Amino acid sequence: MNGDETADPTDQMTVHVRAHAGVSRFFPGEGKVRKVAVTAGSTVGGLLLAHGVPEDLPLVVGLNRDLGSRESQLQPGDLVELVPPMTGGQER
């Protein structure tokens, strides 16, 4: 593909999503890791919006066992981990 060409927006790819705690409700299915089809060229943020995850929901994003963000570009076969922040513990 040269610089003048763009990806066909109808092209799909599969990524794997492991949604922890309450975030899993946005990714129904069986098993801890769900296979999810997304449009080629999608970002984590696009994946979240497509599944109804509110933009203001605080999340820690893991991408292929490294720290990611909502702006991270997705590639076929990526593992996206979505973890809501934890609270609690003992005050000092």
Q: Give, for all 92 residues of the chain, the pLDDT tens digit.
A: 344 445 555 699 999 999 998 999 999 988 899 999 999 999 999 999 999 999 999 999 999 999 999 999 999 999 999 999 876 656 66
SS3 content of the chain, % helix, strand, coil (to 5): 15, 30, 55
Q: What CATH number does residue 69 fall under? A: 3.10.20.30
The answer to whether position 91 is within a domain reads no
Residues listed for the chain? 92
The answer to whether position 7 is within a domain reads no
The answer to whether position 6 is within a domain reads no
Domain that holds residue 62: 12-83
Give the count of beta carbons closer than 10 Å to the beta carbon of residue 27. Answer: 19
Read off the pTM: 0.82
Give the count of beta carbons closer than 10 Å to the beta carbon of residue 1. Answer: 6
Residue 18 in contact with residue 32, Cβ under 8 Å?
yes
The answer to whether position 75 is within a domain reads yes
Residues 17 and 90: their CA atoms lie apart, in Å, by 32
The structural domain count of the chain equals 1
